[in-house]
C-alpha cells in the first residue's frame, strides 16, 4: 500500500497533536485538589506547621489557625500497582534531590487520588503505572473556611 503526501501529513499532524496533548498541563480544584495536596503533603518538604494545617483541612477541619496560603509541590510522583502480585503497590515521590518511597495503604491512597485527579494510567508486564510531574497545589485556608468549594487548586503534568 502506498501513501500519498496528504495521508502522511495527516498522520504526522495527528501524532503531533496526541504528543502535545499528553505533555499539556492538567488541573484539579476544590475537593480533588485538597485530596491531592493532602496525600502528598506528609512526604513533602513543608514546614511542620503547614503539614499540620494541610492534614487538618484534609481531615475536614476548615477552622485551622493557619492564615497564609500553603503550597504543596512535588517534582515527580510515580505509583505502581501489580495486577499479578495483588499485594504490591508503591509510589516514589521526588522533591528536589530527595525521593521518598511509600508502600501499602499510603501508596494506594496516592495512586487512587492521582486517578481521581485525572492522571491516566498505563500498564506493562503485570504492572499498572500512574505518574505526574511538576505538581503544585495551592491551598488558601481563609477561602476553604468559607465552605464555598474554593481555596484549593493544583496543576501538574501527567506522565513522566
Over residues 72-125, the pLDDT tens digits come to: 999 999 999 999 999 999 999 999 999 999 999 999 999 999 999 999 999 888
- For the chain, what is the total number of helices (H) and then of strands (E)? 5, 7
Which residues lie across from 129 on neighbouring strands?
80, 122
- The phi, psi pair for 77, rounded to 5°, reads -135, 125
Residue 5 in this model has a pLDDT that exceeds 50: no
Whose grid coordinates read 475536614?
60
The answer to whether residue 47 scores a pLDDT higher than 80 is yes
pLDDT at 2: 52
What value does the mean pLDDT of the chain take? 87
Q: The pTM is what?
A: 0.82
Spatial contact of 53 and 70, defined as CB atoms under 8 Å apart: yes
Amino acid at each position: 500500500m502506498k501513501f500519498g503526501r496528504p495521508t502522511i501529513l495527516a498522520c504526522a499532524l495527528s501524532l503531533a497533536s496526541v504528543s502535545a496533548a499528553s505533555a499539556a498541563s492538567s488541573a484539579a480544584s476544590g475537593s480533588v485538589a485538597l485530596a491531592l495536596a493532602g496525600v502528598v503533603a506528609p512526604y513533602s518538604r513543608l514546614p511542620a506547621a503547614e503539614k499540620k494545617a494541610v492534614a487538618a483541612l484534609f481531615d475536614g477541619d476548615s477552622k485551622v489557625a493557619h492564615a497564609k496560603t500553603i503550597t504543596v509541590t512535588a517534582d515527580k510522583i510515580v505509583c505502581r500497582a501489580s495486577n499479578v502480585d495483588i499485594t504490591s503497590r508503591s509510589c516514589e515521590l521526588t522533591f528536589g534531590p530527595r525521593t521518598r518511597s511509600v508502600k501499602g495503604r499510603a501508596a494506594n491512597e496516592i495512586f487512587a487520588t492521582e486517578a481521581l485527579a485525572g492522571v491516566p494510567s498505563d500498564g506493562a508486564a503485570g504492572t499498572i503505572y500512574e505518574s505526574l510531574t511538576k505538581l503544585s497545589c495551592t491551598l488558601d485556608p481563609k477561602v476553604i473556611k468559607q465552605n464555598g468549594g474554593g481555596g484549593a487548586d493544583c496543576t501538574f503534568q501527567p506522565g513522566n
